[in-house]
Amino acid sequence: MVDNLRHLRALQAFDEAATHASFSKAADRLNVTHGAVSRQIKLLEAYLGVTLFHRRAGGVELTAKGAQLLQSTRPAFATLHKGVSNVKRQHMRQSLKVSLPNAVALKWLVPRLPSFHESHPGIALYLDTADTLTDFDTSEVDVALRFGGPKWEGLYVEKIADEALITVASPALIGDVSLPMAAEDIARLPLLHHDYHQGWDKWATIADLPPERIQHQNKIKFSESAALLEAAIDRQGVALARQLLAARDIEAGRLIRLDDVLIPIDHGLYFVCRSGDQDRREIRVFKRWLMAIG
């Protein structure tokens, strides 16, 4: 056992090189030189008495023996990484790392955080704004907030709020008009479009407006909800926006809702954590607060 553990660094170098098919990328991941990785691989090959890689001009390729070894190292290092992360998370019991989309942070959570800190000064929050799904097996994230459906297997999932699309614009763009506005009048204004939820045709159908009235508009497209709302606040056009994200700007008078059309979407806002972590005190307190503001 002790003899095997002497080659732990070499096994780590092998695992990274095999994963990235490159000694150079493995060196970058391990923060060492290319030569150091090469030496570790040679040491491991000498110890095992087999060749693990075919050296190619554009990188490296696993041999049959290398592929066999990777089947053991990959889950072993994943388990090790998970164990280290769990110990680190448990040591930092009074802090929570929260992963959430940038728009949810800017338009929904951050403006409400002072009330959380006032009520729970002993719990520190670290916000990691990312639109990618969180890998709870390899990350130090405690909680993720995500738009989507309950499809996260093996995790604790609870819906914070349903979501729908509404038409909003800056009061300065609309001027002195009566609300709710007629669909014909809204369609004459510049319409801002979101790449993800293409809802203007649905809006036209619900509002009894011919869809071609929408198709002939000059389109301004956004891939991010916070940017879409900022464009609307800046009087660039009418946004078909997530109700949850627009609520704060409507309350503050930066945006107004133009009509009564509500377009339900199947992507509510969800609270996600590791199964069992929902009973951890800090996470339970944070979840209860989120449900209250949702």
The tens-digit pLDDT sequence of the chain (294 residues) is 344 555 788 888 999 999 999 999 999 988 899 999 999 999 999 989 999 999 887 789 999 999 999 998 888 877 776 666 665 655 555 589 999 999 999 999 999 999 999 999 989 999 999 878 788 877 889 999 998 865 778 899 999 999 999 999 999 999 989 999 999 999 999 999 887 766 898 999 999 998 777 765 556 788 899 999 999 999 999 999 999 999 999 999 999 999 999 998 888 999 999 999 999 999 999 999 999 987
Local structure of 148: helix, strand or coil: strand
CATH architecture of the domain 94-294 equals 3-Layer(aba) Sandwich (3.40)
C-alpha distances in Å from residue 236, one per residue of 174, 211, 244, 249, 276: 11, 22, 21, 16, 46
**Fold observed for domain 2-90:** Arc Repressor Mutant, subunit A (1.10.10)
**Angle at 138 (CA atoms; ends 141, 1), nearest 5 degrees:** 135
Residue 1: its pLDDT value, please? 39
Q: What's the CA gap between 262 and 271, in Å, rounded?
A: 24
Beta bridge partners of 265: 163
Q: What is the pTM of this model?
A: 0.67
Select from 188, 190, 184 the least CA-distant residue to 209: 184
Select from 152, 113, 158 the least CA-distant residue to 284: 158
**101: number of Cβ within 10 Å:** 23
Contact (CB, 8 A) for 222 and 194? yes
Local structure of 217: helix, strand or coil: coil
Check the CA dihedral 246-247-252-256 and report its sign. Answer: positive
Side-chain-side CA neighbours of 152 within 13 Å: the count stands at 24
Residue 270: its pLDDT value, please? 94
Q: What's the CA gap between 211 and 200, in Å, rounded?
A: 8
Spell out the domain ranges in the chain.
2-90, 94-294
The tokens of 168 are what? Answer: 């909003």
